[in-house]
């Protein structure tokens, strides 16, 4: 992708809507701050400071961006096949469990082998966990939204069981419920001394082109997109829709699992209970904001990472609750999902782009 292509009128028009949605999201959140009696300018400048203004803040923003990249790609890939993978959070957990297990239990490997092995284990965990709803949907037609939501709870409880004080993965020497620390060799190396920024950054930056390549250059990707656009035509052309759904869920889960392993190997180095705080759910918003475009996942994830990281500082500085970013996120999604509002506010010309379609069932109904 060259710069000239990036700034074609069509590309600009495509990006205009998400950007304007973000502007509107902040505007609405600003009104909420105003209504609560605080100063929105102060709040947002604190948010910005907390996210960017010193090297440590910036690297922490990068760290928060990484899971959003993997998970955003995971959800976006599902969207491409018409699947709404709400289970990214659960797959994130399973990836972390598999990754931490390989990370602490295997000994004596050099880092160059151990890290990839643990990351692959995380992908396997996510793959298996996501393949379950894929298979159930393909076999019985049950809706993946319901199954993946339910499997999230199973995943939370399962990890709780595994790492509580007497669980099979628990560190018996610790009084807190958690897994043992991973081997030193399994740790993702720190990139900048004095910060927590780790080599998972490269993994994430490679994942984006890989997913793009998969979707646009391979037969599997073509199959995924065809099933997502028109399952009836796919079936009539001899494409196995069921198999495609299973494989899509599997790959989507593998990406989510990679996020979990990356987090364990790069940041925490062990796995505590209630490991994630909603990364998987936020990532649905990341994928929507990026309109499921793998390249656009990068800026969308970065925005969400910055908001997440800046929110704490904002709360400390201005007493405005960190939950403010939830308002921003939620309104951004509303504006993304209702392009007509954005066009009306900004008097954009109507380009007959397809509306954001969260999920398309075989019957053609949209959610």
The binding site for other proteins (CB under 8 A) comprises 217-220, 222-223, 225-226, 229-230, 232-240, 354
In the complex with other proteins, the residue whose CB is nearer, 328 or 359, is 359
In the complex with other proteins, the residue whose CB is nearer, 21 or 223, is 223
Q: How far is the CB of 213 from other proteins (least distance, A)?
A: 9
d(CA 63, CA 61): 5
Cβ-based burial of 10 (10 A; exposed 0-12, middle 13-18, buried ≥19): exposed
In the complex with other proteins, the residue whose CB is nearer, 202 or 213, is 213
Q: How far is the CB of 161 from other proteins (least distance, A)?
A: 38
Cα torsion at 170, 175, 177, 181 (round to 10°)?
-60
Q: How far is the CB of 353 from other proteins (least distance, A)?
A: 11
- Residue 360's DSSP bridge partners are 366
Local structure of 198: helix, strand or coil:
strand
Q: How far is the CB of 274 from other proteins (least distance, A)?
A: 39
In the complex with other proteins, the residue whose CB is nearer, 9 or 194, is 9
Q: How far is the CB of 218 from other proteins (least distance, A)?
A: 5
Asked if residue 150 lies in contact with residue 142, where contact means CB atoms within 8 angstroms, the answer is: no
State the DSSP code for 180: P
Q: How far is the CB of 59 from other proteins (least distance, A)?
A: 37
In the complex with other proteins, the residue whose CB is nearer, 278 or 355, is 355
**Chain centroid, CA 307 distance in Å:** 14
User: Phi/psi at 190 (nearest 5 deg)?
Assistant: -75, 135
In the complex with other proteins, the residue whose CB is nearer, 176 or 233, is 233
d(CA 255, CA 104): 21
Best CA proximity match to 251, nearest among 65, 75, 66, 68? 75
């Amino acid at each position: 992708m060259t710069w000239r292509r990036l700034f074609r009128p069509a590309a600009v028009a495509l990006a205009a809507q998400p950007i304007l949605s973000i502007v509107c999201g902040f505007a609405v959140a600003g009104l909420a701050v105003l209504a609560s009696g605080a100063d929105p300018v102060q709040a947002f400048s604190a948010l910005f400071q907390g996210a960017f203004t010193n090297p440590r803040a910036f690297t922490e923003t990068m760290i928060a961006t990484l899971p959003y990249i993997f998970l955003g790609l995971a959800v976006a890939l599902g969207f491409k096949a018409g699947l709404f993978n709400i289970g990214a959070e659960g797959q994130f957990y399973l990836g972390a469990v598999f990754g931490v297990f390989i990370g602490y239990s295997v000994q004596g490997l050099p880092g160059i082998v151990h890290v990839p092995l643990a990351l692959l284990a995380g992908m396997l965990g996510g793959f298996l966990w996501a393949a379950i709803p894929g298979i159930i949907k393909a076999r019985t037609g049950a809706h993946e939204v319901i199954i993946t939501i339910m499997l999230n709870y199973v995943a939370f409880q399962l990890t709780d069981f595994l790492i509580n004080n007497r669980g099979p993965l628990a560190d018996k020497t610790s009084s807190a419920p958690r897994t043992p620390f991973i081997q030193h060799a399994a740790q993702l190396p720190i990139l900048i001394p004095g910060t927590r920024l780790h080599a998972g950054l490269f993994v994430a930056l490679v994942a984006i082109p890989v997913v793009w390549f998969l979707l646009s250059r391979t037969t599997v990707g073509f199959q995924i997109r065809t099933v997502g656009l028109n399952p009836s035509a796919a079936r009539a052309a001899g494409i196995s829709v069921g198999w495609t759904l299973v494989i899509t869920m599997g790959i989507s889960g593998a990406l989510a699992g990679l996020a979990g392993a990356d987090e364990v190997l790069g940041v925490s180095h062990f796995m505590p209970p209630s490991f994630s705080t909603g990364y998987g759910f936020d990532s649905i918003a990341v994928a929507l904001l990026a309109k499921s475009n793998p390249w656009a996942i990068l800026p969308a994830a970065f925005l969400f990472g910055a908001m997440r990281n800046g929110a704490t500082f904002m709360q400390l500085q201005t007493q405005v609750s960190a939950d403010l970013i939830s308002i921003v996120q939620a309104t951004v999604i509303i504006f993304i999902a209702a392009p007509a509002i954005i066009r009306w506010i900004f008097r954009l010309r109507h380009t007959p782009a397809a509306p954001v379609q969260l999920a398309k069932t075989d019957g053609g109904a949209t959610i």
